[in-house]
């Protein structure tokens, strides 16, 4: 049970990179579930050392993209590579290059935080798993909680532990599926800080989120997934430039990312699950 729940995290110890291929490259990716066309030709790039946010409503297909990248799901068509390795043909190399923190925390409740980290370090064949675990606990402000069972942790502590477990072995590409959903503002800030530090240290990050402010805060580039395709992809400034600044009497108001998102995706419920309904 432990091992199967951890398979998406435990991905060998390969940190070598295939030349200077982008961290993630996706072209024309398609995926259907029976009659439901979820992905209809997705193009996406994550440059090395950058943070890209994949934004989309519930059911847009974000987790589907993530699962294909993590080799947990096969695409129907198109191509996707991680660290220069094809997700279909070179799945083992992809798994060695990428660490996924799923939408739902994959920590083991019965173990302590430290034991979870030691387990991952062992599975990755790292020397001195105890020292690796202690360093991660320190980095994520979990040193005091390290000896407690995870079943006693708060949601934010679990998330931080989950993130710490993903980083054991320092994979060059990290994929975070809704890393801060359900966290309080303080815990969100801590996760954001951890993600920023990762990118600053050269790790490439793809994160999915429904929180527009999260994308604004963290991402070098933002891609909006809707109706099975990437509607737009650009820097925050580029996305904002898509809408003219609204002027109200004497005050010039710049569009927020939320304005851009809603203009693209359609306001309120029209956008919800549209990827699934169309
Ligand atoms: N294994 C599956 N079998 C059938 N349908 C699926 C499967 N996985 C996902 N879907 C459907 O594909 C669509 C996209 O799901 P996905 O989980 O990728 O969305 P998401 O963007 O991650 O949404 P959320 O924001 O709610 O996490 C949904 O309509 C979902 O019901
Ligand atoms: Mg999802």
User: Using one digit for the tens of pLDDT, what is the confidence trace for 112-137?
Assistant: 999 999 999 998 889 999 999 999 99
| CATH number assigned to the domain with residue range 2-277, chosen from the 4 options 3.40.50.300, 1.10.1200.10, 3.40.190.10, 3.40.50.970 | 3.40.50.300
Pick the residue whose CA is nearest to atom 8 on ligand 1.
Answer: 64
State which of 59, 179, 261 you would mutate to test the pocket of ligand 1, scoring each by most atoms of that ligand within 8 A of its C-beta: 59
pLDDT tens digits for range 205-258: 999 998 888 999 999 999 999 999 999 999 988 988 887 766 566 666 778 887
Which residue intervals of 140-176 are DSSP H helices? 155-167
pLDDT greater at residue 174 or residue 16: 174
Which of 9-13, 142-146, 224-228, 229-233 is least confident? 9-13
Pick the residue whose CA is nearest to atom 25 on ligand 1.
Answer: 58
Pick the residue whose CA is nearest to atom 2 on ligand 1.
Answer: 33
From the CA of 278, how far away is ligand 2's center (Å)?
Answer: 18
The per-residue pLDDT for 117 is 96
Rounded distance between C-alpha atoms, residue 173 and residue 23, angstroms = 6
The per-residue pLDDT for 197 is 86
Mean pLDDT of 40-55: 96
The three-state secondary structure class of 51 is strand
Pick the residue whose CA is nearest to atom 30 on ligand 1.
Answer: 59
State both tokens at 128. 């001195």
From the CA of 276, how far away is ligand 1's center (Å)?
Answer: 8
Pick the residue whose CA is nearest to atom 28 on ligand 1.
Answer: 59
Q: Give the confidence band of 173 by pLDDT, cuts at 50, 70, 90.
A: very high
pLDDT greater at residue 38 or residue 244: 38
pLDDT tens digits for range 71-111: 999 999 999 999 999 999 999 999 989 998 876 667 888 99
226 alpha carbon, closest ligand: 1
Rounded distance between C-alpha atoms, residue 163 and residue 175, angstroms = 10
55 alpha carbon, closest ligand: 1
Which residues surround ligand 1 with Cβ inside 6 Å?
33, 36, 38, 56, 58-64, 103, 210, 276
Q: What are phi and psi of 237, to 5 degrees?
A: -65, -40
Cα of first residue to Cα of last residue in the chain, in angstroms, is 38
79: region left, alpha or beta (phi > 0 left; psi from -120 to 50 alpha): beta
Residue 260 has pLDDT above 60, yes or no: yes
């Amino acid at each position: 049970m432990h091992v199967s729940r951890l398979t998406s995290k435990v991905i060998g110890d390969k940190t070598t990179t295939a030349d200077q291929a982008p961290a993630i490259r996706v072209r024309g990716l398609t995926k259907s579930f029976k009659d439901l066309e979820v992905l209809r030709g997705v193009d996406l790039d994550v440059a090395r050392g950058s943070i890209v946010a994949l934004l989309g409503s519930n059911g847009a297909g974000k987790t589907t993209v993530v699962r294909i990248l993590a080799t947990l799901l096969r695409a129907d068509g198109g191509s996707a590579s991680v660290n220069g390795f094809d997700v279909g043909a070179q799945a083992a190399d992809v798994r060695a290059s990428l660490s996924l923190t799923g939408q739902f925390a994959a920590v083991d409740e019965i173990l302590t935080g430290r034991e979870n980290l030691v387990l991952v370090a062992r599975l990755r064949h790292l020397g001195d798993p105890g020292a690796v675990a202690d360093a991660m606990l320190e980095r994520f402000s979990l040193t005091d909680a390290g000896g407690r069972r995870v079943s006693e942790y708060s949601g934010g502590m679990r998330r931080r532990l989950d993130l710490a477990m993903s980083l054991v072995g320092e994979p060059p590409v990290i994929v975070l599926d809704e890393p801060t959903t359900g966290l309080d503002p303080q815990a969100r800030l801590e996760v954001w800080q951890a993600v920023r530090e990762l990118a600053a240290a050269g790790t490439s990050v793809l994160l999915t989120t429904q929180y527009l402010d999260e994308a604004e805060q963290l991402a070098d580039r933002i891609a909006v997934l809707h109706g099975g395709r990437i509607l737009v992809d650009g820097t925050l400034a580029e996305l904002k430039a898509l809408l003219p600044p609204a002027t109200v009497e004497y005050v010039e108001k710049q569009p927020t990312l939320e304005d851009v998102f809603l203009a693209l995706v359609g306001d309120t419920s029209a956008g919800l699950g549209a990827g699934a309904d169309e």
